[in-house]
Chain A
């Protein structure tokens, strides 16, 4: 089963739960962090279209 292994977001209040959370000031910084996390964790980044990107391990 796929598992969320990290969350990158702009608004802290919208996010909660068990995965590591990264808060970024704007969209551009969010994309950059998600990019790095995708390469580091070897897991895909998916955009939830609400200012949140989840890094999901599909293996």
Chain B
């Protein structure tokens, strides 16, 4: 058995790399509340691209081992390929988005496309590490390396959520004549009494208080706000239809202190669930700002 393993070291290394690459892709492929990827064809696309990525990553090491250095240029081809896929992903989602009752918004779409590309690179990394360990040392270390890379992938795949940057709590929805407030934050003017009644009855309000200036800038981003509304409406359902422009979910900022008021009409009025959903909304990579890291602000802090 051992002699066989040593004799076919390259082949086994590559196969092991591919297997771990595919496993890591499957690990990252979860259809969660964001309802993406779609079932079943979206999945097939993701898995098959994962297989290609795994194969590319796995063959890189034997290529180097055989002093076939030009074979590495292969990887650049892969990068090009995945960039194209990202573009395709973005186009599809943008087209679908125009037919949603509550749209995802381009920031969310960009985020998904970016994640899609990034995950394929993680698969390449996982396959590369596994085959490297298996070929340079032995199969068992290869398996250990593979498991290590899976842990690394698990760690790298998850980003931060809203609960990391602000505290969210339920707030009263107040209809004062045509004026609509969530807590003390003004949302919009609703002219029709019929709509005011619906809002009084079904409306839900939340106030998000950021912990620090970084969070303040992030939740003031329009794409981030749209992501919150989108996630709420996919999970709790949205009380809305085409041709009902007044019943639109909305998030408005209190410009004085940076709190965000979210107004929303759910199908299922459940405050605990809604707060859970808000806390789990991913932070858009494009929305993240770190003003406290800037040198001007750091100096100001150290000066007192």
Partners in one complex: yes
Which residues of A are interface residues toward B (Cβ below 8 A)?
31, 34-35, 38-39, 42-47, 49, 53-54, 58
Question: Beta-carbon contacts of B84-100 to A below 8 Å, as 1s and 0s?
Answer: 00000000000000000
Bound complex: CA A46 to CA B245 (Å): 11
Within 8 A of A (CB), among B242-263: 242-246
Chain A residues contacting B213 (CB-CB under 8 Å) are none
Evaluate contact between B243 and A46: CB separation under 8 angstroms.
no
A-B contact count, CB below 8 Å? 41
Distance in Å from the Cβ of B48 to the closest Cβ of chain A?
40
Distance in Å from the Cβ of B287 to the closest Cβ of chain A?
23
Chain B residues contacting A54 (CB-CB under 8 Å) are 191
Classify the interface of chain B: helix, strand, loop or mixed: loop
B193 interface hit (Cβ, 8 Å): yes
Which residues of B are interface residues toward A (Cβ below 8 A)?
177-178, 189-195, 242-246
Chain A residues contacting B189 (CB-CB under 8 Å) are 46-47
Evaluate contact between A47 and B191: CB separation under 8 angstroms.
yes
Chain B residues contacting A58 (CB-CB under 8 Å) are 245
Evaluate contact between B177 and A38: CB separation under 8 angstroms.
no
Evaluate contact between B245 and A35: CB separation under 8 angstroms.
no
Distance in Å from the Cβ of A7 to the closest Cβ of chain B?
11
Bound complex: CA A25 to CA B195 (Å): 22
Classify the interface of chain A: helix, strand, loop or mixed: mixed
Bound complex: CA A50 to CA B217 (Å): 37
Bound complex: CA A59 to CA B193 (Å): 22
Interchain Cβ contacts under 8 Å between A and B, 20 examples: A31-B192, A31-B193, A34-B191, A35-B194, A38-B245, A38-B246, A39-B243, A39-B244, A42-B242, A42-B245, A43-B245, A44-B191, A45-B191, A45-B246, A46-B190, A46-B191, A47-B178, A47-B189, A47-B191, A53-B192
Evaluate contact between A49 and B243: CB separation under 8 angstroms.
no
Chain A residues contacting B194 (CB-CB under 8 Å) are 31, 35
Chain A residues contacting B178 (CB-CB under 8 Å) are 46-47, 49
Of the residues B177, B242, B245, contact of A44 by C-beta under 8 Å:
B245
Chain B residues contacting A46 (CB-CB under 8 Å) are 178, 189-191
Chain A residues contacting B243 (CB-CB under 8 Å) are 39, 42
Distance in Å from the Cβ of B103 to the closest Cβ of chain A?
13
16 additional A-B residue pairs with CB within 8 Å, beyond A44-B246, A46-B189, A47-B191: A34-B191, A34-B192, A38-B191, A38-B245, A38-B246, A42-B242, A44-B191, A45-B190, A46-B178, A46-B190, A47-B177, A47-B178, A49-B177, A53-B191, A53-B192, A58-B245
